[in-house]
Amino acid sequence: MVAHRMVDVNGIRLHIAEQGEGPLVVLLHGFPESWHSWHRQFGPLVDAGFRVVAPDQRGYGSSDHPDDVDAYTILHLVGDVVGLIKELGEEKAYVVGHDWGAPVAWHTALLRPDMVLGVAGLSVPPPFRGPHRPLAMMRELFGGRFYWNYFERPGVADAEFARDTRATLRKFLYYASASASPSGEIVQPMVDPERGWLADMEDPEVLPEWLTEDDLDALAESFSGNFTGALNWYRNLDRNWELTAPWDSAVVTRPSLYIYGDRDLVPAFPGARDLIEQLPDFMPNLHRKPVELADCGHWTQQERPDEVNAALIDFLRA
């Protein structure tokens, strides 16, 4: 059975879910999610002989929500993972991340390879540092309508998403899933800054089969109308670019795995497809070529749990 507790890590308190014995596997969720997004991975990974721990990352769920925007840089997030591994009594761990959790996992392997047995990222490919600040680049490419730029406006998205937490999450989960694009067409996530993002998102009458009302209840309860901590991650994108300058042109050397859905909007971001094709050249210990899941949207491990579990277990055992 999955157990829950609070741990002191990197100057804050994190809520973690944990189960099993064996080599440690840390599962890092993305936006707008919680530890619960990995609930379909616990049983299979535990049965395969691993100790599984999934935190609510800082700014999410029952974990601490620091007030300062600057408390959500990539160095803080990697520090949380490093501190968590140590707090759990381990020296090394496998680190797996989805969505925003993937950059945290990749950067943990990049900055602290001594503590990472292997690293896997779902949806978001490795963080090879580009030549331009991300927020500034997207502002120029899309005239300020890209969702990152909407998120960086203090208090705006926070208020929009908090008006009806459950409806917000229901719309997001449907919007970025394969269910919302049966034709396979992927549209860049643009936002009318005056109307907000949710106004143009479909609110499904029936949830996708991979998403239950209980899942939605658990996620809504974890947010409790507070999205600011989660949004602060995006508000540090340019700051992260500055902070990671010492690792410019560095590559992830630890054994690695990348999994993504063919209908995921993230691999459709500008330049992402080219990067994915070149990953075998950039990552010397890539377990196998990037794993593309058919008819899968953004919520990789929830939409295709069996395929993701099989790929993860194959990787971890190897």
Which residues are known to be catalytic?
99, 234, 298
What b/e string do you get for 169-179 counting C-beta neighbours within 10 Å, with b at 16 or more? Answer: bbbbbbbbbbb
Q: Are 110 and 40 in contact (CB under 8 A)?
A: no
**Alpha carbon distance 302, 234 (integer Å):** 23
Phi/psi of residue 43, nearest 5 degrees: -55, -55
**Alpha carbon distance 150, 235 (integer Å):** 10
Which residues are within 8 A (CB) of 171 and not within 5 positions of it... i.e. 6 or more apart?
A: 198, 201, 202, 203
3-state helix, strand, coil in the chain (%, to 5): 45, 15, 40
Q: What is 31-68 written as a DSSP string?
A: TT--GGGGHHHHHHHHHTT-EEEEE--TTSTTS---S-
Taking CA 127 as the corner, what is the angle to CA 10 and CA 296, rounded to the nearest 5 degrees? 105
Q: Within 10 A of 70 (CB to CB), how many other CB atoms are there?
A: 11
What b/e string do you get for 214-232 counting C-beta neighbours within 10 Å, with b at 16 or more? Answer: ebbebbbebbeebbbbbbb
